[in-house]
Structure 1
Amino acid sequence: PDLKADNITEKHLLRHGDVLFAAKGTKNFAAWYESKNQPSVASTSFFVIRLYESVSNKILPEFLVWLINHPTAQKFLKGKAIGTSIVSISKTVLEELEISIPDILIQKAILKISQLHNTEKSLRQQIETLREKQIQQQIINAIK
């Protein structure tokens, strides 16, 4: 739906570089907000982590997303989740998550390695899918 400017205060609008954390439900993940075009507001299922100037030169939003989505952090967060039908992670639990912040150059290197690893996994999956199709086609051709 369209956002009416008179109903929303500026502080609720997402800004480029905000980190969104899905605090409710079975999938608790972080995502980096990149859009600069249309005004957007996070739903109440998300916490918005805003990196202010005092820390924005020390940690990249993309790196914070990577840290929160890392299996070690996810294990910690899942272990502290509360609720039965709809589990949630409280702001306090998210604040308890301890993170190490390396130098910006190291953060960039980690992100690049992670991106290359994800690309490799995707390519391996594509190769596996194509190989499966090839084998199935060869089997069909053999019985014709």
Structure 2
Amino acid sequence: MRLADACTIHTGYTARGRLEPAAAGGVLAIQLRDISPEGIVDPERLTRVQLDGLAERYFVRTGDVVFRSRGERNTASALDERLQEPALAVLPLMVLRPKREVVTPEYLAWAINQPPAQRHFDSAARGTNIRMIPRSSLDDLELDVPDIETQGKIVVVDALAERERELTQLAADTRRKMISLLLVERTNSMRPKTRQERTSK
């Protein structure tokens, strides 16, 4: 299924200059820098900006997906229930609004982040200094879209696998630190005592 048939696609808001934080009020804004390497958007870290007369299509809500169309990582992130008010999506972010009877936000983001979709973007990328993914490449991306129940199972298994990876990495890091401490203690115990250390006893 083409991505354009599974969701509506909009470009983010084009900022004419640097978006300055609002002293009071304003609207939440999601910019490229607000998406973590793991694809997480933390609403508590978003900045409010003072802008008026914005079109509704630029705003994202829980259940929408944002796509990074510029940079080395062209991945998608599903916005969860922590986003409790509309937020302005700023270019180079693209707004993907899933057709809920066809695809869930979590599965859509997962599918876009998988190797087949990423290879599609690799072949379509433009730019030499800054990699950019054209809108047409998003429209024409082919995705395997199973039934909603299967989508949910895939997302759950993927989340469990990611958690397992995190715990495995944490265990490896902890073990490495413990070994380092033991080696340091062993090295210190084998170090010849200085005259001051010998006479202090």
Query: Residue 103 of structure 1: CA displacement?
Result: 1.0
- Alignment pair present for 1:88 and 2:132: yes
Amino acid at match of 1:116: L
Q: Which structure has the larger Rg?
A: 2
Partner residue in 1 for 2:34:
none
> Structure 1 residues 62, 140: CA separation in 2 closer, same or farther (over 3 Å shift)?
same
**Cα distance in 1 for residues equivalent to 2:167 and 2:53:** 46
Secondary structure at the counterpart of residue 138 of structure 1:
helix
Q: How does 1:31-46 map to 2 (within 5 A)?
A: 31-34=77-80, 35-46=82-93
Find the counterpart in structure 2 of residue 137 from structure 1.
181
Deviation at 1:140, TM superposition (A): 1.2
After TM superposition, give the deviation of residue 58 of structure 1 in Å.
2.0
Q: Does 1:110 pair with 2:177?
A: no
Shift in Å, 1:141: 1.6
Q: CA deviation at 1:36?
A: 4.1
2:103 counterpart of 1:26:
no
Deviations 1:23-70 (A, max 9, x none): 01111110112344333111110111112xxx3122101000000001
Letter in 2 for 1:110: I
What CA distance in whole angstroms lies between the structure 2 residues aligned with 1:43 and 1:12?
A: 8
Q: Following the alignment from structure 1 to structure 2, what is the Cα–Cα distance between the partners of residues 9 and 106?
A: 35
Residue 100 of structure 2 corresponds to 56
Q: Secondary structure at the match of 2:67?
A: strand
More strand as a share of residues: 2
| 1:5 positional shift | 6.6
- Amino acid paired to 1:40: A
Structure 1 unaligned spans of 5+: none
SS in 2 for 1:56: coil
TM-score normalised according to structure 1 size: 0.90
Report percent identity of matched pairs: 31
Which ranges of structure 2 fall in alignment gaps of 5 or more residues?
1-20, 28-49, 190-201
Q: 1:11 aligns with which of 48, 57, 65?
A: 57
Q: Pairwise CA RMSD of aligned residues?
A: 1.5
TM-score (norm 2): 0.66
Kindly indicate whether the alpha-carbon contact (under 8 Å) linking 2:58 and 2:95 is maintained by their aligned counterparts in 1.
Answer: no
SS of residue matched to 2:130: coil
